[in-house]
Amino acid sequence: MTDRPDTAEEFGADTSRAPAGAVAPADGDVIDVFDVIVIGAGPPGENLAERTQAAGLRTALVEGDLVGGECSYWACMPSKALLRPAAALAAARAVPGAREAAGGELAAAAVLASRNAFASNWRDEGQVSWLESVDVELVRGQGRLAGPRKVVVTASDGTERRLTARHAVALCTGSRPALPPLPGMDEARPWTSHEATSSQRVPERLAVVGGGVVGVEMAAAWQALGARVTLLVRGDTLLPHWEPFAGELVAEGLARAGVELRTGASVAALRRPDPDGPAVVELSGGNTVIADEVLFATGRRARTDELGLETVGLTPGDWLAADDSLRVQGVPGDWLYCAGDVNHRAMLTHQGKYQARIAASAIVARARGAGVDDGPWGAQAATADHQAVPQVVFTDPEAASVGLTLASAEKAGLRVRAVDYDLGSVAGAALFAEGYRGRARMVVDEDRQVVVGASFVGPGAGELLHAATIAVVGEVPLARLWHAVPAYPTISEVWLRLLEAYRG
């Protein structure tokens, strides 16, 4: 590694030739010098730390809560563990012969127990021993910047540890739920995604506010577990950033499951007159909804408010802007990086981990004094964040999408044509589920003759997505895609039908 000025001396220590390790400054405090310091041990932070350490850069990973982040304990894993049993039961009931054997009700207690196991019972020993196995040093406590390359970590007992990075600091602190500042929020104690993914009991009545991905998934999960769910949506559609048919088919599925969907429902205030009694959701216009719990799934905000951003010229609370090598913009030098939700590029675990791989690769390249474009895979620029983000909504039916929707492609000024196909008409779909309902759309860039977006809605549609991601990222010409023959009788035959529909 090339030598860099060692900023530990700014804490009062002479560390100009210090190897990574502990340094004692004049005042006797110990400063730990690492090559790389990562703040936040969600999936992106863990991945970034593992990669820089594996490349020979001594790396510290700072975590104030559980190693594994939201995804492991209060987001992806527990939410999908809540959703999967209902999907499996619905799949069995859609197949004659299996249907007769699947007549019972979902066993809510077993589902919650399985969810607890998927969330590792909210303990992180497994993640910690993995960190040990890859030699990353875990520093427990809240980290904050204290100037360029400097990090102060405050442990739960209030003690502080000062760290300095020789090469890079990476901020991977994620996001937290954004609650609207409505009257009565403190008194009514609404659920956020934390309670919605970790509750140990099924409320009798649940009101869900918000028709985005978290809102529709949690509405589906808790309705299946036995709650009576009312889904309150301000606009007139679910999943507003998706192809319109995604919101329509998901709304149909939720209604079939018994969810009461109210569109044009804007929450004005919340009350819980008796602390042990139900909450009252007051809607603009005067209507009310009574529910035992109220989940606000109304977006996320950056977790940067107590991160010392002001010490490097940034504004606390803001999302971090990053270039394609995940270097934080607005900070001189090339030492500050960010990956995951905190940069607001694509708030999904797989995209955060992708960014972490890129950031680690860029940090290692720069530490070696190399340019950032010369990795064997051209791996130091996060291009897929812009053009090809895959996402699945695990409702019944599932919705899956990658790349641009027709509307977003047109807004981007592309000359595009969309072709649609009824997924239920594909032989594999009819075998998958009786009366299969679903739809697929392929958005083609007419000038380049490549797929720039694809969406699939239907049972099991999530597993169709990676082929689309490859087509979009690989910019596979339609003339070549024509030779990618889907196996018969799979639902993937929809690709052939979409290409036939496009050729006319």
CB of 387 to ligand FAD, least distance (A): 17
What binding mask, one character per residue, do residues 138-177 give for ligand FAD by CB under 6 A, x or -?
A: ----xxx---------------------------xxxx--
Instruction: Enter the tokens of residue 353.
Output: 């981990």
Which one of the spans 64-72, 234-242, 399-407, 434-442 is the region binding ligand FAD (CB under 6 A)?
64-72
Q: Is 459 in the site for ligand FAD (CB under 6 A)?
A: no
71 binds ligand FAD (CB under 6 A): yes
Residue 199 sits in the site that holds ligand FAD (CB under 6 A): no
Q: Which stretch binds ligand FAD (CB under 6 A): 115-123, 181-189, 349-357, 490-498?
A: 349-357
SS3 384: helix
Based on CB atoms, which residue is closest to ligand FAD, 69 or 253?
A: 69
Residue 444 three-state SS: strand
Nearest-angstrom CA–CA distance, 66 and 317: 22
Q: Judged by CB, which is closer to ligand FAD: 71, or 254? A: 71
Other Cβ atoms within 10 Å of 194 Cβ, number: 15
Residue corresponding to tokens 């104690």 = 189
Q: Residue 36 is inside which H or E element, if any? A: strand 31-39
Strand partners, 209: 232, 296
Q: Closer to ligand FAD by CB, 75 or 326: give it.
A: 75
Q: Which stretch binds ligand FAD (CB under 6 A): 76-84, 162-170, 220-228, 283-291?
A: 76-84
Size of the site for ligand FAD (CB under 6 A): 38
Least distance in Å: CB of 346 to ligand FAD? 8
Residue choice 197, 199, 361, 455 for contact with ligand FAD (CB under 6 A): 197
Residue closer to ligand FAD (CB basis): 98 or 134: 134
- Stretch binding ligand FAD (CB under 6 A), from 239-247, 344-352, 414-422, 450-458: 344-352
Q: Which residue of the chain is nearest ligand FAD when measured via CB?
A: 42
β-pair type (398-403, 391-393): antiparallel
User: Does 190 contact ligand FAD by CB under 6 A?
Assistant: no
Pairing status of strand 293-296 against strand 150-154: unpaired
Instruction: List all residues 6 or more positions away from 480 whose beta carbon is below 8 Å from its beta carbon.
Output: none
Residue number with CB closer to ligand FAD (141 or 453): 141
The only residue of 31, 291, 328, 347 in contact with ligand FAD, by rule CB under 6 A: 347
Q: Are 142 and 306 in contact (CB under 8 A)?
A: yes
Binding piece for ligand FAD, criterion CB under 6 A, among 13-21, 40-48, 199-207, 404-412: 40-48
Q: What is the C-alpha end-to-end distance of the chain, expressed in Å?
A: 58
Joined tokens for residue 389: 């983000």
CB of 280 to ligand FAD, least distance (A): 25
For residues 378 and 400, what is the distance between their CA atoms, to the nearest angstrom? 28
Of 6, 35, 50, 70, the residue at the interface with ligand FAD (CB under 6 A) is: 70
Choice between 138 and 185, CB closer to ligand FAD: 138
Closest CA to 7 of 215, 151, 211: 151
User: How many CA atoms within 13 Å lie on the side-chain side of 337?
Assistant: 37
Distance between CA 125 and CA 228 in Å, rounded?
A: 36
Q: Which is nearer to ligand FAD, 43 or 486 (CB)?
A: 43
Q: Please name the helix (run of DSSP H) or strand (run of DSSP E) that holds residue 385, with its range, or none.
A: helix 384-387
Residues near 146 by beta carbon (within 8 Å), at least 6 away in sequence = 152, 162, 308, 311
Contact yes or no for 458/436 (Cβ under 8 A): yes
Interface with ligand FAD (CB under 6 A), residue from 60, 62, 207, 444: 62
Binding mask 314-343 for ligand FAD (x = CB under 6 A): --------------------------xxx-
The reply on whether position 352 binds ligand FAD by CB under 6 A is yes
Please pick, from the candidates 23, 37, 40, 298, the single residue that binds ligand FAD as defined by CB under 6 A. Answer: 40
Burial class (CB in 10 A: 0-12, 13-18, 19+), 471: buried
Provide the pairing of β-strand 228-232 with 205-209. Answer: parallel
Which string of x and - marks every residue 253-292 that binds ligand FAD (by CB under 6 A)?
----------------------------------------
Phi, psi of 143 (to 5 degrees): -100, 145
Instruction: Please name the helix (run of DSSP H) or strand (run of DSSP E) that holds residue 53, with its range, or none.
Output: helix 43-54
Whole-angstrom distance, CA of residue 232 vs CA of residue 251: 12
Least Å distance, CB 345 to ligand FAD, is: 10
Q: Which stretch binds ligand FAD (CB under 6 A): 3-11, 35-43, 107-115, 371-379?
A: 35-43
Instruction: Give bridge partners of residue 230 from the DSSP assignment.
Output: 207, 260
CB of 313 closer than 8 Å to CB of 196? no
Q: Is 64 in the site for ligand FAD (CB under 6 A)?
A: yes
Nearest by Cα to 293 from 338, 228, 382, 363: 228
Using CB under 6 A, which residues numbered 200 to 239 contact ligand FAD?
214
Q: Does 492 bind ligand FAD (CB under 6 A)?
A: no
Residue 1 tokens read as 């590694």
Contact positions vs ligand FAD (CB under 6 A): 39-45, 62-65, 69-71, 75-76, 79-80, 142-144, 172-175, 193, 197, 214, 303, 307, 340-342, 347-350, 352
